[in-house]
Amino acid sequence: MCVQSGGLDITLPKFHLHQITFLRSLKVRIFLILLIVGLIPCFVMRYAILQNYERRAVSVRSSNIATQVRILANHLISRRYLEDTSSEVINAELEQFSNLYDGRVLIINTELRIVKDTYGISEGKTIISEEVIRCLRGESTEGYDRENGYIEMTIPITETVEADLPVGAGDTIELVRGVMLVSASNDSIIATMDSLDRQAMVVESIVGVLIFVVTLLVSKYLFQPFKKMIEALDQVQEGYTNDPISVTDCLETEHIGDAFNRVLGRMKMLDDSRQEFVSNVSHELRTPITSMKVLADSLITQKDVPLEVYQEFMTDIAAEIEREDKIINDLLSLVKMDRKAADLNISQVDINALVELIMKRLRPIAMRRDVQLVYESLRPVTASVDEVKLTLALSNLVENAIKYNKEHGFVKVTLDADHQYFTVQVEDSGVGIPEDELEHIYERFYRVDKSRSREIGGTGLGLAITRSAVLMHRGSIKVSSLEGEGTDFTVKIPLKYIVSQPEERRRKRRA
Ligand code: ADP
């Protein structure tokens, strides 16, 4: 929010309910909810009851007053009070009425002159008011002044006389001779209402206190399992126990415990695999170094070593260095693959050209091993891929097919596509992979035949790299193999790489 005042920009911080610390407590929230749910009906009921009582009480009092005033009006007429206000009987009746209703009575004649005021202050004065004029036309009025707490009404003083006109024998008409203007206090009703209001407030306070107590008890009962949960988590965190968390007091804590145990299990698995990977890496890196040390030591300890032996040992040392270099390179490739998919450098690539280039690079190795390389492209394919990573993935497959082949064997690479995916199939007529080993071949440093793999320069990282690269492209890799007959790898990759939303955000942030 930004408020501009006299050229000054005042930026007000945005206000969020959850920023109020005490409102973040579930106990406080439950208390407030119960308080609202409990007290709102009390308030509504108090208001409705008081309103209803007031309406009814005013209506009953008004009708009582009207009846009394009408009786008084008849007496006034019969005693000719409007012409002569000295009648003691009427004056006493008026006095009694005023006392009874704690009010004031004005008697007004047709000339709008006040002939009697029970307060005795306005007699002889003229009164001009809408109600009085309407009443002189025969219309009674009634009003309730809520603020000042009194009922006001005008009642016409009528006389029944025989009609002058010959409308029929015995016909009578009502003639208005004056007006009785009465105002009666409502203090008794207001006092009753005040007392009712006080009682309702007492009830509300009791309800408030009860809700507070109930909230304390309920929250203590409800939060007991969560308290246990926190204690259990603390114990795991402080390392007292490795046992799975189980708080079965309620379904929610049971679910939280299960979810936490799953996370814990996954973390443990990751930790185990990390430790295994680190020990594998150090073992793999140490092997060539140990060999080099043995070779170097034997050269150092021997006297007068012939030149041929020197040359032979140095060649072996160079091979070990090359091997060490290959392991390090493969490890670096794998680390790169482990990064997020956002690191993919996607572009439109001619897959036919890419596969042809791979085949061209590997042809010398195939020739050295007397393996025939065949490439069959069923259609031209262009796809959005990371060229470097896909090249690495496919090169590993073709290189393996050559490495683990037999003499006079063949490797056939087939490229095909439909409207959504392209597939690269690498078949070979090699040694094959035993069925029970198939599920492990993508693991880092896993080799079916360790000595053979090492002999032909394998690091056990090739297929792990290939799989990572394929998965990064949201593709899949399948293998089928028959021991002694050959192996068949099929890679399937979408033609169009669709960037996911979180990935897009990450890319933009980086840009
Ligand atoms: P390496 O560097 O040892 O070749 P890889 O990860 O590429 O490691 O392969 C893992 C293991 O899977 C290899 O050691 C080999 O035993 C087996 N393997 C991979 N490709 C083939 C294949 N085409 N034919 C037979 N065995 C294979």
Residues 53 and 171 in one domain: yes
Q: Is 396 in the pocket of ligand 1 (CB under 6 A)?
A: yes
Alpha-helix runs per DSSP H in 176-250: 187-237
Which of the four pLDDT bands, split at 50, 70 and 90, describes residue 179?
Answer: very high
Give the pLDDT score at 447. Answer: 87
Which of the four pLDDT bands, split at 50, 70 and 90, describes residue 3?
Answer: very low
Model confidence over 383-441: pLDDT tens digits? 999 999 999 999 999 999 999 999 899 999 999 999 999 999 999 999 999 999 999 99
Give the contacts of 432 (CB within 8 A, at least 6 positions apart).
481, 482, 483, 484, 485, 486, 487
CATH number at residue 385: 3.30.565.10
CATH number at residue 167: 3.30.450.20
How much distance in Å is there from the Cα of 334 to the middle of ligand 1? 16
Which residue, 311, 338, 365, sits at the end of a domain?
338
Give the contacts of 246 (CB within 8 A, at least 6 positions apart).
232, 254, 257
Residues 294 and 437 in one domain: no
Residues 254 and 389 in one domain: no
Mean pLDDT, the chain, rounded, equals 87
Domain around 329:
244-338
Residues 365 and 334 in one domain: no
Which residue, 176, 192, 208, sits at the end of a domain?
192
Whole-number percent of the chain with pLDDT over 90: 48
Report the number of secondary-structure helices (H) and strands (E) in the chain. 11, 14
The residue ranges of DSSP E strands in 251-371, in sequence order, are 346-350
Which of the four pLDDT bands, split at 50, 70 and 90, describes residue 492?
Answer: very high
Which of the four pLDDT bands, split at 50, 70 and 90, describes residue 169?
Answer: low
Distance CA 405, CA 431 (A): 6
Retrieve residue 401's tokens.
């097919």
How much distance in Å is there from the Cα of 460 to the middle of ligand 1? 7
Model confidence over 320-361: pLDDT tens digits? 999 899 889 988 888 877 766 557 889 999 999 999 999 999
Asked if residue 236 belongs to a domain, the reply is no
Asked if residue 8 belongs to a domain, the reply is no
Q: Is 426 in the pocket of ligand 1 (CB under 6 A)?
A: no
Residues 42 and 168 in one domain: yes
- Amino acid making up residue 501: Q
Distance CA 455, CA 449 (A): 10
- 3-state secondary structure (DSSP) of residue 183: strand
Give the pLDDT score at 165. Answer: 60
Give the pLDDT score at 247. Answer: 84
Asked if residue 227 belongs to a domain, the reply is no
Write out the H or E segment, with its range, that includes residue 481: strand 476-482
What is the radius of gyration, based on Cα positions, of the chain?
52
Which mutation among 426, 439, 442, 463 tests ligand 1's pocket best, with the greatest number of atoms within 8 A of CB? Answer: 463
Which ligand 1 atom sits closest to the C-alpha of 461?
A: 6
Residue nearest (by alpha carbon) to ligand 1 atom 4: 458
Residues 90 and 184 in one domain: yes
Residues 355 and 475 in one domain: yes
Residue nearest (by alpha carbon) to ligand 1 atom 19: 400
Predicted model pTM: 0.56
Asked if residue 22 belongs to a domain, the reply is no
Residues 442 and 334 in one domain: no
Residue 328: Cβ-neighbour burial (10 angstroms; 0-12, 13-18, 19+) = middle
Asked if residue 97 belongs to a domain, the reply is yes
- Amino acid making up residue 408: H
Contact between residue 362 and residue 398 where contact means Cβ atoms under 8 Å apart:
yes
Residue nearest (by alpha carbon) to ligand 1 atom 2: 458
The residues with which 412 forms a beta bridge, in sequence order, are: 374, 427
Give the pLDDT score at 5. Answer: 41
Residue 415: Cβ-neighbour burial (10 angstroms; 0-12, 13-18, 19+) = buried
- 3-state secondary structure (DSSP) of residue 422: strand
Does residue 75 register a pLDDT over 60? Answer: yes
Which mutation among 337, 362, 371, 404 tests ligand 1's pocket best, with the greatest number of atoms within 8 A of CB? Answer: 404
Which mutation among 325, 327, 400 tests ligand 1's pocket best, with the greatest number of atoms within 8 A of CB? Answer: 400
Tally of domains in the chain? 3
Write out the H or E segment, with its range, that includes residue 493: strand 486-494
How much distance in Å is there from the Cα of 478 to the middle of ligand 1? 14
Residue nearest (by alpha carbon) to ligand 1 atom 14: 447
Asked if residue 86 belongs to a domain, the reply is yes
| Lowest mean per-residue pLDDT among 4-18, 155-169, 286-300, 492-506 | 4-18
Chain centre to alpha carbon of residue 467: 36
Q: Is 333 in the pocket of ligand 1 (CB under 6 A)?
A: no
